A = this chain, B = another copy of it.
Amino acid sequence: MAVLVTAETRLVTQGITGREGAFHTLKNRAYGTQVVAGVTPGKGGQDVEGIPVFDTVADAVAETGANTSMVFVPPRFAADAIYEAADAGIGTIVCITEGIPAHDMLGAYTYLRPRGIRLLGPNCPGALSPGIANVGIIPAQVFAPGGIGLVSRSGTLTYQIGSEVAGLGLGNSTIVGIGGDPVVGTSFIDALELFEADPETTHIVLVGEIGGNEEEKAADYIAAHVTKPVVAYIAGFTAPPGKTMGHAGAIISGSSGTAVAKKEALEARGVRVGTNPTEVARIVAELVTA
């Protein structure tokens, strides 16, 4: 079945006529994703190598039955693009754009969430269900189909871990890059919930990093709600200390947000934590063959 991106995905790319938008849309299509449309206002009626372009997402949905959008528009217009997708009835929005103001995303998130519209990102690499469909910029060639669900805050680190796991002959149900911006549409917990419910997923890998307390919250969620084995990796044991958000930031986070604190929180709830990507892959392989 996979999660987020499946055989049912019918993709429309917002900003399809841009350089990156066109490049990755075509790569996604080449991988097998059903790419049904693109949107660039004023370029309705054109096509990008056979993919029809529309002026509005509403038109694209009406004409092609698109149900998933990939946002590749510049950061100043990206929140507007997300709203447009939501307004047009798109159910899953994958926002690749980096550099969107946090307040813009706060508004968009607040609008989408109670309406049950799924947002992945922004500033994320997208989601890949190997052998089925790829929406975003994850280099698909390193991944094979299988039972391991992978969720990560980091883009390239996701690929690193994924390729190490693949190197041991294991495959993935879906690779989900949630992005590291202050406001992301899909959290670790959301992804864990999806993987727990997905029959194809047998094991889960969670890739976190220093800062915030999302990994700690995920640890609590795993203890309470996840029955599948979870392996984690935390980046940043030797990273320079990040800046804190005044006294208020320290009061909110409660924990120190360090890699050590996160590792301990996860291990305290029975999650095995690898110290580098290679070790993570080894632990996963061990659990799969056990």
Contact = CB atoms under 8 A, between A and B. Distances in A.
Interface residues of A, number: 2
A109 to B, nearest CB: 15
A115 B115 CA distance: 10
Interface in A87-114: 114
A219 to B, nearest CB: 29
Looking at chain A's contact residues, is the secondary structure mostly helix, strand, loop, or mixed? helix
Nearest to A114: B114
A114 B115 CA distance: 8
Nearest to A115: B114
Contacts of A114: 114-115
Interface string A221-252: 00000000000000000000000000000000
Contacts of A115: 114
Interface string A108-147: 0000001100000000000000000000000000000000
A115 B113 CA distance: 12
A114 B114 CA distance: 8
A171 to B, nearest CB: 40
A62 B268 CA distance: 35
Interface string A244-262: 0000000000000000000
A111 to B, nearest CB: 10
A228 to B, nearest CB: 33
A225 to B, nearest CB: 24
A116 to B, nearest CB: 10
A115 B114 CA distance: 8
A117 to B, nearest CB: 12
2 contacts: A114-B114, A114-B115
Interface of A: 114-115
Q: Which 2 A-B pairs have the closest CB atoms?
A: A114-B114, A114-B115
